[in-house]
Amino acid sequence: MNNDIGIYIHIPFCLQKCFYCDFNSYANKQELVEKYTFALCNEILKNAEILSQYKISTIYIGGGTPSYIDSKYIKQILDTLLLFVDKEYLKEVTIEVNPNSVTEEKLKVYKESGVNRLSIGLQSNHNDILKKIGRAHKIEEFEKALDLANKVGFTNISADLIYPLPDLDLNRFNETLDYILNLKDKNIKHISIYNLEIHENTKLKFLLDEGYVTLVDEDEEYEMYTALNKRFKEAGYNRYEISNYSIQGYESNHNLRYWNQSLYLGFGAGASSFFGGSRYRNENSIEKYISYLDKGISIIAEKEDLDLLSLMKEYVMLALRKIEGLDVTNFKSKYKKDVYELFSEELNSLINDGLLEKEGNYIHLTQRGLEVANLVWEKFV
C-alpha cells in the first residue's frame, strides 16, 4: 500500500549525556518536559491534514531517553497520535527505554497506551565499561527492567549493544555475547549491535585523544565482528541489516521503513522527516522548538529537496544496507528505470571488486562488502 506512513517521536531529555552520544539530547532540562509535550502534540495536530490522508503503520518513540520523563506525557503524545490511527493497520509501536529510568508503572502505561515493542539500551554487560562510557545504569538494573517488561507482558523486546568499547577485549566481548544470547527466553527477539563511532565534541573523543581510555586494534575488532555474526546465526538470530539481528518475523518494521525509502514524519526537536520528495529536520533547540510552535514560526531548520537522480542513488544505498539487498524489480516498479542501465559503471565496478553480487532479482553486499560497506556507499554519493 502506497499511502502508509511511519511516525517518529523525539524525546530529547536525559538524566545524563553518554560519553559517545551526539544525538539531539539534553540533561538538566526536565523543567521543560510539560511545555515540550504540549508543543509536540501541537505539532502533530498541525499535521492533521496529512495524517488523515495516510495510514500510520509504525510509531517509534526515541531520544534522548523516553523512559526518563513521566509516562503520562508519553500517553498524552500517543493519545494525540491515535486520533489519526486505524488500529487494525498499525503494526508496531516502539519505545526506547533505559534500564535505570523504567518502572513497572511506566511499562504498564506504555502497554495500555498501545506500545507493543520495547528497545532497551544495554550497550554492555560489564559495569566498569558502562561507567567508562557514561551510561547511567548498571547491569543489575537492566536485568530488573527486563524482568518487569516480561511481567507486564511485553513479548517483543530489542536490546542495543555497542563494540568496541574501552576495556572491551575479545574475551570480555564473548562474555557479552554469552550474556545476551542466554536471555533469548526472556523475549529478546531483536538485537541491534552497533560499531562504535567516535564523534567530534563528545567526551569519549576527548578521553581517547588524551589517552585516558583505549580501544582494541583493528585485528581484534575484526575478530569481534566475526564472533558476533557466527554466534548470532547459530543462536537463530537472522542478520537482516548491517547492524540488526532478529528472530524471524521480529524485524523492526519502523527501521525497515528507512531502508526501504518509505515515507515517515518526525515530530519533536531535531526530528527528521522524509515526505514529498524532501528530507527535512526540525530545530534542535528545545527552547526554540517550543517558542516557534507557540508563535507560529516554522520549526524546520534544514530541508533538502531531492531530485530524481538523488532519490534513486539514495534508494540503492539504503537498500544495500539490508542483507537481502536491492530488489531490482522493485526499483524498476518505483522509478520506471533499469538500475543496471542507470548505474552500470558503479555496479559493475563493485561487482568486479567482489563487494557486490547478483542473485536472482537482487543485488546485495558480499561478505567482504559487508565489512567495507562505506566503500560501496561512496560510489553513490
Map grid coordinates 531483536 to a residue. 190
CB distance 118 to 187 below 8 Å: no
Q: Max alpha carbon distance in the chain (Å)? A: 57
Residue 182 has pLDDT above 90, yes or no: yes
Check: CB of residue 5 under 8 Å from CB of residue 56.
yes
What pLDDT, on the 0 to 100 scale, is given for residue 22? 85
Residue 12's pLDDT is 98
Confidence of residue 18 (pLDDT cuts 50, 70, 90): confident
Please give the grid coordinates belonging to residue 101.
529510568
Rounded to the nearest 10 degrees, the angle between the axes of helix 170-181 and helix 218-234 is: 20
Grouping H, G, I as helix, E, B as strand and the rest as coil, residue 41 is helix
Mean pLDDT of 350-364: 97
**Residue 181 banded pLDDT, cuts 50, 70, 90:** very high
Span 16-36, average pLDDT: 93
Partnered with residue 326 across adjacent β-strands are: 363
Q: How far apart are the first and last CA of the chain?
A: 29
Which of 173-182, 195-204, 240-249, 285-294 shows the lowest per-residue confidence on average (mean pLDDT)?
A: 195-204
Question: Is the pLDDT score of 330 beyond 80?
Answer: yes
Span 69-98, average pLDDT? 97
- Name which of 312, 260, 269, 314 is nearest 287 in CA terms: 269
Instruction: Indicate whether 369 pLDDT > 50.
Output: yes
| pLDDT the model gives residue 2 | 66
Percent of the chain past pLDDT 70, that is, above it, reads 99
**8-state DSSP, 212:** S
Q: Distance between CA 194 and CA 163 in Å, rounded?
A: 6
Cα atoms in the 13 Å half-sphere on the side-chain side of 156: 17
d(CA 19, CA 166): 11
* Domain 4-259 fold: TIM Barrel (3.20.20)
Predicted confidence (pLDDT) at residue 1 exceeds the cutoff of 60: no
Each residue's pLDDT tens digit, 218-267:
999 999 999 999 999 999 999 999 999 999 999 999 999 999 999 999 99
- Going by the DSSP 8-state scheme, the letter that residue 246 receives in this structure is E
User: Edge to edge, what strands does the sheet with 326-327 contain?
Assistant: 326-327, 362-365, 356-359
Please enumerate in sequence order all residues whose Cβ is within 8 A of that of 340, keeping only pairs 6 or more positions apart, or say none.
Answer: 328, 347
Each residue of 280-304: pLDDT tens digit? Answer: 999 999 999 999 999 999 999 999 9
Q: What are phi and psi of 297, to 5 degrees?
A: -90, 145
pLDDT interval class at 19 (50, 70, 90): confident
Domain spans of the chain, in order of start: 4-259, 323-378
* CA separation for the pair 20, 169 (Å, rounded): 18
* Average pLDDT taken over every residue of the chain: 96
The alpha-helical segments, DSSP class H, found in the chain are 33-46, 48-53, 71-81, 104-112, 127-132, 139-152, 170-181, 203-209, 218-234, 253-259, 286-295, 308-319, 328-335, 339-342, 344-352, 367-371, 373-378
DSSP H or E run through 279: strand 278-282
Assigned C-alpha cell, 331: 526499483
Q: What is the reported pLDDT for 381?
A: 84
